[in-house]
């Protein structure tokens, strides 16, 4: 528990302030120091009576954010001032106009971009997503808003343990959904890694602690191996006269966890838990050739795995990252990953686009300018072209900017980077929207392919067009880039507008012919009769002859005599179906007080559903998300839950399992074993006979002497499941037993 000590707090505040000044990479002018001091004094006065959830003075937070901006990201004085002031407008009575008057227009615009939207006019919108959208929209104007926001989010994640459980779920989900991928896309790898580690700490605490402890326990042995490995490389680099430094770095905990999950292995089976960086100091013009020479020196001593060689110098990543990555076999029988880069490349790897801007002014190197300009241009285009709702806007932004990349050649040999899993049609729209609109097929490496053909790195693509072609709604089912989706949606929307106008004119003429009044009541009756949700959909269906206007008079007679009865039956059916699907059982305890406080409780006994996307069982760490009058129960680490909590943080509710042992939950197991006679019988005996557990589904497949067995079984809780897993592991020949959510 934090104990307040005013004198000690004053000393700490001054220490944090001086740390910011000391972290700045360049010499501060007298004017700069005055401006930073003015912002510090102003923020301290504005937040003087405020404290964080930890009990600490609130001013600690903006001071920490300003330090991250200066030290970890490398931002300048304007950003430091903005970081110190970033919460003043949101949390105090000061306005943007006050900030503008005291600190100028640049700082006021950045602070305005960082100030959250506090309320929405429509209850159907998501406050979180509107704030996401606001932040994204600043990218094309001033990227510093995003960078300061990432610093703010990093410090919030570092102090998340002081927050209530629902708030932790909300902030962690937002970070997982948007901020960590955004840090990665901006090239801020150290911030991205720390954010991902902190996410893991809160959604998979057992895994986080196990890996963290494992790294500590193996640290001494690992250092010995690293020193032994780099010794001959150092001797060779010294002989060749290189200025260099060799840095060994542990993989992030989250990176190790991803490897464990992907390869279905334990921590002890992860061989490459560290990366070795060889960083050379060499002139810009000599960078590529010197990095290749160092690669040659390394492979004189250790054999490389050619499948894992990556040349990010010849073709840098779109976020500016450059290096040669290789994996070599050490003389102690383990694969070791090496990264070969220059000091300039390493700075970009640590500080992303901020370092590129610095190098831009220092070097005027076209390659770096083009990488940055192309990325910013892409963002600006997507923002200008997008007229979709907020959810689609944010999802398209994620899809386009956070995906892995492939490299495609045009017929003339130009290189274009595109999102992974891009299709021929995505490529067509990337070249020009008119080429995309008229595309009918493509030639990939001179072979004719359809528009939905998925491309891979190195393909050379030519687009075949036709003047008669127009975009189709079904194209949206297979394209992946946000630009392509935006262009197709824009075309379809314009065409739909034309159809809606035609449909409205048609129905007006028919109403006039049958002496029916063209008003909202009559239109609403038609919509209900044909089960159409919106007026524009009705006109669209009429234009496309989905509704027979010749029978309009008889249709209205049917509406008058049977319409209301038909609708009543439909409602009764919907209600009974809903009730059946949401049958309540007493196995979840819901925090109804929180629901009432937030106005989310629509029923004294709220129903809940166990979500099928992750199939949580009693004993799992869970979260409740309110949808209508139902609380959906998800595992905390469920990706679907992450998105829902990112959209509607106010709908998160604290839930826990009761001690009811009468409820059965469906969960899955994956068993990998060597093939042998009677294996299936042994598996069934352990589950059904010994543990008396019912099997819903059993699928066994044998390939090349290895059996993969997938089961869905009903259990009461995780303790029973763990017992079954332990029993199955004892079967002779069983290599792995893993829990899965579904088959």
Q: Give 56's DSSP letter.
A: S
pLDDT band at 591 (very low <50, low <70, confident <90, very high): low
pLDDT in tens, 219-237: 998 899 999 999 999 999 9
Provide the pLDDT for residue 654.
82
Antiparallel, parallel or unpaired: β 706-715 and 665-674 = antiparallel
* 384 pLDDT more than 70: no
- 626 vs 725, which has greater pLDDT? 725
pLDDT band at 579 (very low <50, low <70, confident <90, very high): very low
Find the mean pLDDT for residues 163-167. 85
Q: What is the residue extent of each domain of the chain? A: 6-206, 212-363, 404-479, 493-581, 588-657, 665-740
- 243 vs 516, which has greater pLDDT? 243
Question: Lowest-pLDDT range, 123-127, 459-463, 575-579?
Answer: 575-579
Note whether 8 and 60 are within 8 A (CB).
no
Find the mean pLDDT for residues 465-494. 88
pLDDT band at 542 (very low <50, low <70, confident <90, very high): confident
Give the CA dihedral 94, 96, 101, 102, nearest 10 degrees. 60
Note whether 406 and 455 are within 8 A (CB).
yes
**What average pLDDT is seen over the chain?**
82
Q: Which CATH class is domain 404-479?
A: alpha beta
Find the mean pLDDT for residues 581-596. 55
User: Tokens 């998925």 identify what position?
Assistant: 454
Q: Is residue 395 packed enough to be buried (19+ CB in 10 Å), middle (13-18) or exposed (0-12)?
A: middle
For residues 128 and 647, what is the distance between their CA atoms, to the nearest angstrom?
6
* 482 pLDDT more than 90: no
Which residues lie across from 740 on neighbouring strands? 668
- 139 vs 529, which has greater pLDDT? 529
Provide the pLDDT for residue 550.
66
CATH topology of domain 665-740: Alpha-Beta Plaits (3.30.70)
Q: Give 57's DSSP letter.
A: B
For residues 152 and 129, what is the distance between their CA atoms, to the nearest angstrom?
18
212-363 CATH pick, 3.40.50.12370, 3.30.460.10, 3.40.50.2000, 3.40.50.720: 3.30.460.10
For residues 588 and 504, what is the distance between their CA atoms, to the nearest angstrom?
51
pLDDT band at 315 (very low <50, low <70, confident <90, very high): confident
Note whether 274 and 250 are within 8 A (CB).
yes
User: Tokens 């929405």 identify what position?
Assistant: 120
Highest mean pLDDT among 553-557, 567-571, 574-578: 553-557
For residues 26 and 32, what is the distance between their CA atoms, to the nearest angstrom?
11
- Angle of CA points 667, 207, 179, to nearest 5°: 95
For residues 312 and 320, what is the distance between their CA atoms, to the nearest angstrom?
9
Q: Give 454's DSSP letter.
A: B
H or E element, residue 76: none
Domain 6-206 matching CATH 1.10.3210.10: the answer reads yes
Find the mean pLDDT for residues 647-656. 81
Find the farthest-apart pair of alpha carbons in the chain and give their distance in angstroms, rounded: 99
Highest mean pLDDT among 176-180, 227-231, 523-527, 638-642: 227-231
Give me the active site residues, please.
90-91
Highest mean pLDDT among 128-132, 295-299, 394-398, 558-562: 295-299
Q: How far is CA 112 from CA 59, 117, 733, in A?
A: 19, 10, 63
- 136 vs 691, which has greater pLDDT? 691
* 257 pLDDT more than 50: yes
Nearest to 375 by CA among 347, 413, 344, 401: 401
Provide the pLDDT for residue 17.
93
Nearest to 525 by CA among 501, 499, 557, 550: 557
Provide the pLDDT for residue 434.
92
pLDDT in tens, 25-63: 667 888 999 999 999 999 999 999 899 988 899 999 999
Question: Lowest-pLDDT range, 212-221, 376-385, 713-722?
Answer: 376-385
Q: Is residue 477 packed enough to be buried (19+ CB in 10 Å), middle (13-18) or exposed (0-12)?
A: exposed
Provide the pLDDT for residue 129.
62
pLDDT in tens, 95-109: 999 999 999 999 999
Percent of the chain with pLDDT over 70: 81
Find the mean pLDDT for residues 307-317. 88
Provide the pLDDT for residue 137.
67
**SS3 track for 110-178:** HHHHHCCCCCCCCCCCCHHHHHHHHHHHCCCCCCHHHHHHHHHHHHHHHCHHHCCHHHHHHHHHHHHHH
Find the mean pLDDT for residues 403-429. 86
For residues 135 and 143, what is the distance between their CA atoms, to the nearest angstrom?
10
Find the mean pLDDT for residues 554-581. 41
* 422 pLDDT more than 80: yes
String of DSSP letters for 265-316: --GGG----EEEEEEE---GGGHHHHHHHHHHHHHHHSEE-GGG-EETTTS-
* 144 pLDDT more than 70: yes
Provide the pLDDT for residue 562.
46
* 357 pLDDT more than 50: yes
């Amino acid at each position: 528990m934090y104990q307040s000590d005013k004198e000690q707090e004053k000393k700490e505040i001054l220490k944090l302030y001086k740390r910011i000044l000391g972290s700045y990479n360049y010499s501060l002018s007298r004017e700069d120091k005055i401006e930073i001091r003015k912002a510090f004094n102003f923020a301290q006065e504005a937040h003087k009576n405020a404290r964080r959830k930890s009990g600490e003075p609130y001013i600690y937070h903006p001071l920490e954010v300003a330090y991250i901006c200066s030290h970890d990201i490398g931002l300048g004085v304007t950003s430091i001032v903005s970081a110190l002031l970033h919460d003043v407008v949101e949390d105090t009575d000061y306005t943007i106009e006050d900030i503008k008057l005291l600190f100028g227009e640049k700082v006021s615009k950045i602070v305005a971009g960082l100030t959250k939207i506090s309320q929405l006019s429509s209850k159907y919108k998501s406050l979180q997503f509107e704030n996401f959208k606001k932040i994204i929209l600043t990218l094309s104007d001033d990227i510093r808003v995003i960078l300061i926001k990432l610093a703010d989010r990093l410090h919030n994640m570092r102090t998340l343990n002081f927050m209530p459980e629902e708030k932790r779920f909300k902030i962690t989900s937002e970070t997982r959904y948007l901020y960590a991928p955004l840090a990665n896309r901006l090239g801020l790898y150290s911030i991205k890694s720390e954010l991902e580690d902190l996410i893991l700490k809160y959604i998979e605490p057992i895994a986080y602690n196990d890996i963290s402890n494992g790294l500590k326990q193996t640290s001494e042995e690992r250092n010995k191996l690293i020193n032994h490995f780099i010794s001959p490389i150092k001797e060779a680099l010294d002989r060749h006269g290189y200025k260099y430094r060799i840095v060994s770095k542990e993989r992030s905990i989250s990176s190790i966890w991803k490897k464990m999950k992907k390869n279905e292995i334990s921590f002890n089976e992860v061989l490459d838990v560290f990366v070795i960086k060889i960083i050379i100091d060499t002139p810009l013009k000599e960078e590529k050739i010197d990095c290749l020479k160092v690669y040659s020196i390394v492979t004189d001593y250790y054999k490389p795995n050619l499948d894992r060689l990556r040349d990010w110098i010849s073709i840098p990543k779109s976020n500016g990252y450059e290096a040669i990555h290789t994996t070599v076999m050490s003389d102690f029988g383990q694969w070791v990953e090496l990264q070969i880069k220059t000091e300039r490349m390493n700075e970009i790897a640590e500080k992303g686009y901020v370092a590129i801007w610095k190098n831009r002014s220092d070097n005027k190197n076209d390659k770096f300018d083009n990488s940055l300009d192309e990325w910013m241009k892409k963002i600006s285009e997507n923002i200008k072209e997008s007229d979709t709702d907020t959810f689609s806007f944010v999802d398209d932004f994620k899809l386009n900017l956070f995906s892995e990349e492939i490299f495609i050649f045009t017929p003339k040999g130009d290189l274009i980077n595109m999102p992974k899993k891009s299709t021929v049609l995505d490529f067509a729209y990337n070249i020009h929207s008119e080429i995309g609109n008229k595309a009918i097929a493509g030639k990939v490496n001179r072979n004719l392919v359809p528009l939905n053909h998925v491309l891979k790195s190195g393909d050379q693509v030519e687009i075949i067009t036709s003047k008669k072609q127009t975009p189709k709604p079904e194209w949206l089912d297979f394209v992946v880039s946000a630009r392509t989706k935006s262009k197709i949606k824009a075309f379809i929307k314009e065409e739909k507008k034309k159809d809606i106008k035609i449909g409205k004119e048609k129905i007006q003429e028919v109403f006039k012919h049958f002496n029916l009044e063209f008003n909202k009541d009559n239109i609403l009756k038609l919509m209900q009769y044909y089960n159409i949700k919106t007026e524009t959909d009705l006109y669209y269906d009429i234009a496309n002859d989905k509704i027979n206007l010749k029978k309009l008079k008889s249709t209205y007679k049917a509406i008058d005599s049977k319409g209301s009865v038909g609708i009543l039956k439909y409602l009764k059916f919907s209600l009974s179906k809903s009730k059946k699907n949401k049958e309540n059982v007493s196995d979840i305890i819901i925090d109804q007080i929180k629901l009432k406080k937030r106005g989310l409780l629509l029923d004294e006994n709220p129903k809940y559903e166990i979500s099928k996307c992750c199939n949580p069982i009693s004993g799992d760490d869970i979260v409740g998300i309110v949808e209508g009058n139902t609380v959906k129960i998800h595992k905390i680490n469920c990706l679907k839950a992450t998105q829902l909590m990112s959209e509607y943080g106010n709908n998160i509710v604290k839930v826990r399992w009761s001690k009811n042992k009468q409820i059965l939950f469906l969960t899955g197991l994956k068993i990998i074993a060597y093939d042998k006679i009677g294996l299936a019988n042994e598996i069934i005996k352990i589950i059904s006979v010994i543990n008396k557990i019912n099997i819903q589904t059993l699928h066994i497949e044998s390939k090349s002497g290895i059996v993969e067995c997938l089961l869905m079984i009903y259990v009461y809780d995780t303790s029973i499941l763990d017992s079954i897993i332990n029993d199955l592991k004892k079967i002779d020949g069983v290599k792995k037993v893993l829990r899965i959510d579904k088959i």
